[in-house]
Amino acid sequence: MRMECCLLTVCALCAALLFVLFYWLVPAVQRSSLCTLIWHATITERLRDTLTRSTRPQRMLKAVQKNATKGNPQSVISAIDYFCKNSEWAMNVGDEKGSILDSVVTEVNPSTVLELGTYCGYSTVRIARLLSPGTKLITLEFNPAYAAVARQIIAYAGLQDKVTLVEGSSGEWIPQIKERFGITTFDFIFLDHWKDQYLPDIKLFEECGLLRKGSVLLADNVICPGAPDYLEYVRNSPRYESRYYPAHLEYTKLEDGLEKSVFLG
């Protein structure tokens, strides 16, 4: 009898815990940008990694290989969006902000492109599919495991000949770009890596002479998780003309946006 009472008590406590989790904690997490990022990028990711003995990028790659058509960039983008909406959240630029990225790339029609923060190659594929033949796209990723998956996703989309993926930090590579790749200036730069590096990196672009009059920089996640020092700089510097594109954090309803800054010389 005592054993049955203990089991009933445990079951009741578990039911109460589940009630709190699904009716209070999860909605609260979804309302907070910081909590949402911690929940998706740390808690649930580590739990799934442990249960599946794989990583989120590896699972994303499998979803692409299973659901996308090889050599079709749009199907790769759609497969990743579906995975992130229905299976696991991931820190791609996402479909909503991705459409803004598409429109800016199309408007600029760049010949030289730099992306800071490849992750799994989602935004790389979005950008590369819109580029004219002969355009140089360099994408930089600090994490070797992410870079390994990104190479496979870019190749699956059939865009490997358009993309040069470099592993390392932006602070290390930006000063070497002219010498290593023969690029004098960039027409378009997409910033989507560590947010506290946006400001140091834009100043490094200036110091290294990698910006020309009319160069366009597009920065993601300027609201969530945020890059306030970068926004203050580009919005108040006479060297830039900036415009904010309001949107939402990828695959959520949380406020976020992109900042487009044109270098005036």
Task: Indicate the annotated binding residues for Mg(2+).
Answer: 192, 220-221
- Would you please indicate which residues are annotated as catalytic (active-site) residues? 192, 195, 220-221, 250
| Residue count (the chain) | 265
Q: What is the per-residue DSSP string for 169-201?
A: -HHHHGGGHHHHH----EEEEEE-S-GGGHHHH
Instruction: Write out the H or E segment, with its range, that includes residue 148.
Output: helix 144-156
Give the residue numbers of the binding site for S-adenosyl-L-methionine. Answer: 93, 123, 141, 192
Please state, in angstroms and as integers, the Cα–Cα distance from residue 143 to each residue in 118, 140, 167, following that order: 9, 9, 7
The binding site consists of 93, 123, 141, 192, 195, 220-221, 250
Query: Where is the binding site for substrate, in residues?
Result: 195, 221, 250
Q: Are strands 112-116 and 255-263 parallel, antiparallel or unpaired?
A: unpaired
Q: For the chain, how big is the Rg over CA atoms in Å?
A: 21
Residue 168 backbone zone (phi > 0: left; psi -120 to 50: alpha; other: beta): left
